[in-house]
Amino acid sequence: MHSIQQTLASLEIQQQNYAWSTGQLSGGTGGARHASHSPVDGKEIASATLASESEYNSVIEKAAEAFKEWQLLPAPRRGEIVRQIGDELRRNKEALGQLVSYEMGKSLQEGYGEVQEMIDICDFAVGLSRQLYGLTMQSERPQHRMYEQWHPLGIVGIISAFNFPVAVWSWNAALAWVCGNVCVWKPSEKTPITAIACQNIISKVFKANQVPEGVSCLIIGDRKIGELMSNDKRVPLVSATGSTRMGKAVGAAVGARLGKSILELGGNNAIIITPNADLDVALVGCVFGAVGTAGQRCTTTRRLIIHESVYDDFKAKLIKAYSQLRIGNPLDSSNHVGPLIDTDAVEMYLKAIDRCKAEGGKFIVEGGKLNGGGFESGCYVKPCIAEVEPHFAIVCEETFAPILYIMKYSSIEEAIQIQNNVPQGLSSAIMTLNLREAERFLSAAGSDCGIANVNIGTSGAEIGGAFGGEKETGGGRESGSDAWKAYMRRQTNTINYSTELPLAQGIIFDLGE
């Protein structure tokens, strides 16, 4: 593994980088300097200049110009360019994965895994570039042909979150590109350096293929840039990942101008542990789901709904497993849990613990902030477990931290009701070897989430399936399956090749002589 300095050099990250780019990174005009500090050790990685409104407009104008040419490139040719991007990501996987880990705080293996997701979605998009199928339909009128086709939308605005600083952007960008769109990316201001590294990597590929500047744009800014994008009629689609609060603001702004949005928002994910579960398998899924990325995944396991007959046994397994967790520098592969993203996240974690206790929660594994040797950044906390009642207010909210709530149930119907009785609806799982329980959970009257798993946890998703959730999770879908349709507009076409003009439904319109 390279040193952080070697990693930054290999990704062409200098101490000073700038806010916006329509190809190669270019300079801002004196906006506020924004430094990115690693939650791992508190050190400054590099800095950026927050973009101004005029710079935002420059980027949008350049993207609009690029779209005119990019949309005319055959889709398989666009796919070939995305294939080359995937290959370039393969060559930079180690360095980029290390930077993801260092800037965000997730484990090194998760950092590598995030870059692998980028590679996988590029592979998926390459195949998709030859499968943007429409339908041929039968016309009721003689000598008419009717069909539908799909066209690109134009500019796709992508607002990404800190917890997956590059992967979720790539889910959107790779599909949008092969569909013929251009992309403007506003990364989280908490993780701008990984975005700059990605722009450095992909801009070389676009340049080598003589692609016009503006097909892939980067703009680093604060909340103001997100608001400009959400209200901009020149951006027909905005894909936003983040909190439910943020998503509601984006959705309202985009909806007010009748634009399209893909919203991937909060999750409050549960696993049901039935009497028929393989408890050893369940334990792995539950612990990784709860503590992976220090509880900062939208798919993090936040609630365990455990049958009363196995509750005490499984609780004992959890306590033992948590006692074996190693917390520390995520670049050390022997550690299981890294830091939270910043000290604000630590404060939210501590307040959630206090609220849980005030409501009557009993902590069987105590939490708290870690101080002293190796934890100088102030961002390290202890994963904790609380016994609660399902109706506690704090249990129905999403806390982006490694706090796991456990509760009892007596019937599968009760378990599903508890699982569904929260505002969020992203991911869910059941641990059971009983076919009837599994099918009941997957039925229309079962889990109300966008993702429902059997004998795997809530956390982690393969790019082959559409990713997203219901209710306050936003209803969006990204990545696999037919999620590509969200990045295109559908057009129905009818061609009359007869010598007459028959009307539909047998209507007669006689103009006489």
> Active-site positions?
264, 298
Helix, strand, or coil (residue 306): strand
Amino acid making up residue 12: E
Given a contact cutoff of 8 angstroms between Cβ atoms, the answer to whether 194 and 100 are in contact is yes
Which runs of consecutive H residues, i.e. helices, occur in 408-457?
Answer: 412-420, 435-442
Q: Residue 381: which of 334, 344, 333 has the closest Cα? A: 344
Q: CB within 8 A of 62, min separation 6: which ones? A: 22, 213, 214, 217
Q: Please name the residue that has the structure tokens 């936040």.
A: 302
Number of continuous H segments (helices) and E segments (strands) in the chain: 14, 23
Main-chain phi, psi angles of 418, to 5 degrees? -65, -45
Q: Please give the structure tokens belonging to residue 433.
A: 């070897």
The CA distance from 111 to 94, in Å, is 9
CA dihedral 65, 69, 70, 73 (to 10 degrees): 180
The helix (run of H) or strand (run of E) holding residue 364 is strand 362-365
C-alpha distances in Å from residue 340, one per residue of 104, 290, 333, 442: 8, 13, 17, 33
